[in-house]
Amino acid sequence: MSNINERIDAGYYTNNDTYPTNPKKVCQHCNVHVGIVPPKFCPECGKPFIDEYNARKEVYKNEMSKHRRQDSALVNLFKTDLIEEYGHDRDNEKAKLLVEKCWSERHSNGYREVVAMFEDFEEIL
């Protein structure tokens, strides 16, 4: 079985789903930008706007929350794998605390940095 750094490099903890796009206030029928406040009807072609826009917004919100759930599941998987990689029980409270501290300090620099910091401190567990 590969080690955690190899799994990081292989994208094992990366959310590969397309990042959802916030719908623009553009008419689906004629491509006109309808302005800041979404109108009931498109000022250009007169077709209904607000209902379609709200439906697209709803789809976006659902996709976004699905995306965030996937992100969070992958992060939790990474944290558990990291704890177990160093031979600790996944429910070890001190290991969980250490991984949270390493995560908050280093995750903006990438998963490998979290692993490096965890490795520096895990012997105190």
**Helix, strand, coil tally for the chain in percent (to 5):** 60, 5, 40
Q: Which residue, among 85, 96, 68, 104, has the nearest Cα to 6 in the 3D structure?
A: 85
Which of 30, 59, 73, 77 contacts Zn ion by CB under 5 A? Answer: 30
Is residue 26 within 8 A of residue 44, CB to CB? The reply is no
Toward Zn ion, which CB reaches closer, 25 or 101?
25
Which of 6, 14, 21, 45 contacts Zn ion by CB under 5 A? Answer: 45
Residue 53 lies near Zn ion (rule: CB under 5 A): no
CA dihedral 22, 28, 34, 40 (to 10 degrees): -100
Query: Residues touching Zn ion: how many (CB under 5 A)?
Result: 6
Toward Zn ion, which CB reaches closer, 46 or 110?
46
Which of 44, 71, 85, 119 contacts Zn ion by CB under 5 A? Answer: 44
Q: Which residues bind Zn ion (CB under 5 A)?
A: 27, 29-30, 42, 44-45
